[in-house]
Chains A and B, each alone.
Chain A
Amino acid sequence: MTDTNATTSGGAATQAAPNAGIVHGLYTEGEPLHDTKAPAGPIQDKWSTRKFESGLVNPANRRKLSVIIVGTGLAGGAAAATLGEAGYQVKSFCYQDSPRRAHSIAAQGGINAAKNYKEDGDSTFRLFYDTVKGGDYRSRETNVYRLAEVSTNIIDQCVAQGVPFAREYGGLLDNRSFGGVQVSRTFYARGQTGQQLLIGAYQALERQVAAGTVEMFSRHEMLEVIVADGKARGIIARDLVTGEVETHLADAVVLASGGYGNVFYLSTNAMGSNVTATWRAHRKGAYFANPCYTQIHPTCIPVSGDHQSKLTLMSESLRNDGRIWVPKKAEDCEKDPREIPEEDRDYYLERIYPSFGNLVPRDIASRQAKNVCDEGRGVGPKVGDFRRGVYLDFTDALKRMSAEAVAEKYGNLLDMYQRITGENPYEVPMRIYPAVHYTMGGLWVDYDLQSTIPGLFVAGEANFSDHGANRLGASALMQGLADGYFVLPHTIRDYLAKGPFEKLPDSHPDVVEAKASVDARVQKLLSINGDRSVDSFHKELGNIMWEYCGMERSEEGLLKAIDLIRGLRDEFWRNVKVLGAADTLNQSLEKAGRVADFLELGELMCIDALHRRESCGGHFRAESQTEDGEALRHDDEFAYVAAWEFGGDGSPAVLHKEDLVYEAIEMKQRSYK
């Protein structure tokens, strides 16, 4: 525990009055921001009112209207399929070799929906309430209510598509309770819910490809958004196979390009997951909201060495029966855990949180693991100077339940652990460590999911979303599909009803400028020809972010991180080594472009974390904790969305605040004591 001073307001150094000029030398504050799209009236009626009010497009006119969708995960895939079905001309882009590979596929747990099939007191309002509360009261009420409202349609839609959800013997859908929620509202398909939902959306998408309404561009990466006459009108994309830089124009653009967890280098994201699409849009005028909100998941398989390229999540259900501990004495850390006697073990979660024990919320479990490792009591191989791992021990469960019962319940997880680590968890305690898992921040959007650039819509993890400062389990899949199937198709229609917009020639100066900037950037990356590989920069950035903008952030650390990142970015543009040519498949070049954008995003994340002098959800500020070391929120000062406007290269970012107004529910302080 670094600091035990419970402060109710942050350090004076970062105290900012509106428009008071440059704060900390890092940012300025601009005009406040409001969502203008959610209609007035009771929260239950807002979405139907909005749908009724939004404009209509005659079916015959739809084929004259075009939409570009970047990303083919749950949000992008579902949106492309649905808009295709409606008859619009859709162009869909993904960097993978097939739309079916988007990283939504890796979600294991399940998808929430307020079906109340168990008749256990669930309802749209309860799902809404749980999601806002879980997000630590940092999400927009209207959006979250709509999410809960359409959740039931998602299940109907997916079942109709043939998604093989788990069923009971009577043939009806099974539900389980997930993430400490008291109702059973999670639908699942064993540990592959994300895969099955994505394949459902993918098949619907391929059906539209066959029907000719969707044109698919796989192995294409969006490198720039085209903003002409103030509206988003297309993208510049690179064909990753031929290297050709292509211009694609449309009447509207949707970004559904996922989260930016890979800024930490090691995360549970896919190797290719990146921020480029949203970051390029940010640079063109889209505000980036709450970039510092990162979810860190406590039960991942620890890093085994410097070679590590990614982290693998294990379901946190393991904490139901496993006990978490580290040795009391640092000198025991190298011993075989089975030889450490009971009295020399520190079951630290059970010690610090006697009532919740090993089941404390994700952020607490993660932070305490970091603390014991920082004290030198971590276990497993040394990575750098520290051992980064704690034991998750099933010995007691095996005694209590029998090996068969444990295998029945956790078999596939334990097998996965064994395959990755080569250790048998039935004999030796497993080792776990927290890992970056999801980013709640993203491009700011209004109720219509439209960003601050007209015609640019953002869906799924790429937007700043419905999850506030922390996301509940099984709601990422829900949000992706809600946005893609049920929200965007209505809101984008309202925008397109004002079209078709004037046809844009390829020679339009904004189009020419966008393409030229991409070409120049590609050439620049290839021409530096320095000494360091792209990966080495990425790793270093990841270490900085993890150290100073990870589970616990402090003013001192963040200021240091900003300095380090600026230095690293500077070195990157002088000393990166990217081999190969522009006109071929060149994976180093792809990575270089992504890391270049992460190097800019990382700085903004630190600035956002620095300015938010409170602890909330996934954001824990050392300076803002209670006497017991728990997160302390400051609703009086920070109950707002921080939407950042790009200030220009070398110029400070501009902060726009959107105040969060809770009418349907009351703000409360989270408690788990």
Chain B
Amino acid sequence: MKLLMAVSGALFVFYVLAHMYGNLKIFAGVEAFDEYAHHLRTMFTPILPFGGFLWLFRIVLVVALVAHAYSAFYLWSRARGARTTRYVAKEAARATVKSTAMRWGGVAILLFLVWHLLQFTIVKFNVGDDVVGTSPGKLVISSFQVWWVVLIYILALVALGMHLWHGVWSATQTLGWAGSARARKRAKLAALVIAFVTSVGFALPPLAILFGIVKGN
């Protein structure tokens, strides 16, 4: 079960890094971003139909998501079942902030994901004032000119950062890759770096847009 958690989690780490890389394209301009969005759909055509790869990718991600969430709830309920009588002392067996953030942070990220998909993938509604047409790049820029959208994203990114920080380290441990003190130190460092790079990397475009560094036209 933990292996499932670790493997599906690892998949997300790679996805998230790729996603972030794509987002940074916004700094190259709206056209570059739109091209990137389009390219995602034409990758491996004509072997696959238009959007085929993206759909395959989405299926994999959905499966991973279900697996990740299922194993999380399984472990959660098992942990609850393993100590049905709680300690009286509040300090007792209390998890660290990072690991508490795993569960509630995970739930938060899940909720955010729904909003995020609705906003940019499924409904593509625009909360901003600009006319965006079919350009994903314009949609992005228009959305992030609204302060509270940015705030939601920043909060979600903090949750994601914490989640990755403990999650990446935890996955190396679960997969048995952190066998020595040195390996453990490296794994913890890698986790911190990935968490930091991801949060900051994702945070850059919305902030840049909000503060007008990247403009639509």
In the complex they form, do A and B come into direct contact, defined as C-beta atoms under 8 angstroms apart?
no
